[in-house]
Structure formats: structure tokens, C-alpha cells
């Protein structure tokens, strides 16, 4: 069983996590190809392409220029500790023990516009390249065409030893779209998190993102191996809503 997460726009590269194990990212040639394209862009072009302010565009142009195909503790950090958004607040990887981090390394995949797939302990250098970016490349007009079936093929390889392969989707639509559904040889289970507001249950982006990270933490702390076990998720007041769920879509609700 593999859990898919989206990356975060916010990053934290200070301080370096030298005491935590690290691995090398898997799709460095592909990332290098994309960086080569991005290095040719001016700050104005990057701002327009990614809808960024001038200051953010300048920051990321500098990141592209500094990017190297060689990853070390001096220029990179473990992905699960470098990402700093709502999902990663919920996951709170810095408080996970060594056994929990090792489990996450084997069962969690972070989808990335630049890196394709990152394992939690993979080194990554700072970047900004959302999966939905329409960056023209040799593979086509955008990153979905660039990655094609590569991400699904990788997930298939990771799941090849499982008798009943399952992908638990905790990623956004923008990122899960990068997984070629026709090529994926696994059952997909979506987790949906709803909060009660204005008299009804609805998905509230901030809380839903945090809950996705909490679900990954729940799985890592308990070493879950079956989709049925996800129904026990009870962090931050959420509870499984059986009447709203199906085998492929697990709904969790809470009243705040």
C-alpha cells in the first residue's frame, strides 16, 4: 500500500537535518532536463508562467541557476522535512521516530512537478514548479505530458510485490492527474475530509490539506497495511462516515 501526497509551496531549508538519514532522488535526469529549460527563462517569464510576484520570480530564478544534479547536505534537505505547508504541518515528520520515518520511506510518495516522485527521505534542492505549470518541453506542452506514464510505472514497480496493490490518494487533483490511470496497475482509494460549517459538511481546503498529512502520520505511526485500517482514523476529531463512503472513497467528518 502506497500513500500519495502533494508537495508544498512553502519550504524550510534551515536548519539542515544532518541527524536524519537521507537518500538520493530517483528522477535526477528528468529534473535536470526541466531545470535546463527553466534556466533559460527570465524573471519576467517565470513570473508570467507561474503567476508569481516579481520577488518570488527572482528567488526561483536564482534557485534554478544554483540547482545542481549532485545532492548533498550542503545544497539539499530531506523532502519530508523541507516541505512546510499545511499537509506537512499535519504529518509533522520532525516528531516521527526512526521506525516511523523508515515506514514512511517505504510507503509514502510525494508527487513533484520537478522531481516526479520523492520518497520522504530523498534529498531535494529548493524549487518552485507546480505540476499544473504549462512549461513547454520535448515531451509536450506541459508537465503532464513530460511525465507521461513515468510516475505510474514507478508506482507499479514499488507495488509489484503486493498481491493486492493499493494506492491511497492523499494528493490534490492537480498532482494526482500526473499519475496515468490507464498505466497504473493498482486499486485507488481516495480519502475525503469534511468539516461542518454553515449547517452542512463540506471540504475546507486548509483543514483538508492538514488532514491528509494527519492520515499519513496515522498510517506511519501504526504501520498500516490494509485500506480497511484507514477507517480507524480519529486524529483531530475526525471520524469515519460510513454512510457517506464507498470502497474507493473513504469520507471522514468532524464538527469543530
Residue pLDDT, tens place only, 189-216:
999 999 999 999 999 999 999 999 999 9
Distance, in Å, from the CA atom of 130 to the CA atom of 176, rounded to the nearest integer, reads 12
**Cell numbers representing residue 48 in the block:** 508570467
Residue 168 near residue 1, CB atoms below 8 Å: yes
For the entire predicted model, the pTM comes to 0.96
Task: Tell me what percent of the residues of the chain surpass a pLDDT of 90.
Answer: 97
With a cut of 80, say whether residue 17 has pLDDT above it: no
Distance, in Å, from the CA atom of 217 to the CA atom of 85, rounded to the nearest integer, reads 15
What pLDDT shows up at residue 12? Answer: 95
Reply yes or no: is the peptide bond before residue 15 cis, omega within 30 of 0: yes
Q: What is the largest CA-CA distance in the chain?
A: 53
Quickly count: other Cβ atoms within 10 Å of residue 7's Cβ: 28
Residue 248 near residue 188, CB atoms below 8 Å: yes
Reply yes or no: is the peptide bond before residue 118 cis, omega within 30 of 0: no
What pLDDT shows up at residue 108? Answer: 98
Q: Using only C-alpha atoms, what is the Rg of the chain?
A: 18
Helix, strand, or coil here: 237?
Answer: helix
Distance, in Å, from the CA atom of 97 to the CA atom of 159, rounded to the nearest integer, reads 24
- The single residue listed with the C-alpha cell 486524529 is 235
What pLDDT shows up at residue 18? Answer: 76
Please report, for residues 25, 117, 222, 244, the alpha-carbon distance to residue 30 in angstroms, rounded to integers and kept in the order given.
11, 11, 34, 41
Quickly state the pLDDT bin for 15 (edges 50, 70, 90).
Answer: confident
Please report, for residues 40, 86, 96, 114, 226, the alpha-carbon distance to residue 239 in angstroms, rounded to integers and kept in the order given.
49, 20, 23, 35, 18
With a cut of 90, say whether residue 19 has pLDDT above it: no
Q: What digits encode the pLDDT tens for the residues 29-57?
A: 999 999 999 999 999 999 999 999 999 99
Amino acid at each position: 500500500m502506497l500513500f500519495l501526497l502533494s508537495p508544498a509551496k512553502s519550504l524550510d531549508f534551515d536548519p539542515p537535518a544532518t541527524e536524519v538519514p537521507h537518500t538520493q532522488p530517483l528522477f535526477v535526469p528528468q529534473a535536470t532536463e526541466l531545470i535546463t529549460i527553466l534556466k533559460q527563462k527570465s524573471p519576467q517569464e517565470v513570473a508570467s508562467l507561474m503567476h508569481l510576484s516579481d520577488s518570488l520570480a527572482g528567488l526561483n530564478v536564482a534557485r534554478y541557476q544554483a540547482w545542481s544534479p549532485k545532492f548533498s547536505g550542503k545544497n539539499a534537505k530531506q523532502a519530508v522535512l523541507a516541505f512546510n505547508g499545511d499537509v506537512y504541518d499535519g504529518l509533522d515528520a520532525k516528531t516521527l521516530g526512526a521506525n516511523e520515518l523508515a515506514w514512511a520511506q517505504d510507503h509514502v510518495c510525494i508527487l513533484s512537478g520537478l522531481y516526479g516522485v520523492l520518497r520522504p527521505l530523498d534529498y531535494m534542492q529548493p524549487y518552485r514548479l507546480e505540476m499544473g505549470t504549462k512549461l513547454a518541453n520535448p515531451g509536450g506542452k506541459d508537465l503532464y505530458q513530460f511525465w507521461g506514464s513515468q510516475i505510474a510505472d514507478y508506482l507499479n514497480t514499488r507495488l509489484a510485490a503486493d498481491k493486492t496493490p493499493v494506492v491511497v490518494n492523499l494528493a490534490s487533483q492537480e498532482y494526482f492527474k500526473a499519475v496515468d490511470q490507464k498505466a497504473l496497475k493498482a486499486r485507488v482509494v481516495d480519502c475525503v475530509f469534511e468539516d461542518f460549517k454553515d449547517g452542512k459538511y463540506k471540504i475546507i481546503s486548509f483543514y483538508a490539506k492538514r488532514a491528509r498529512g494527519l492520515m499519513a502520520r496515522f498510517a506511519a505511526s501504526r504501520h498500516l497495511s490494509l485500506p480497511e485500517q484507514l477507517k480507524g482514523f480519529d486524529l483531530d476529531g475526525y471520524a469515519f462516515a460510513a454512510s457517506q463512503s464507498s470502497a474507493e472513497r473513504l469520507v471522514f467528518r468532524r464538527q469543530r
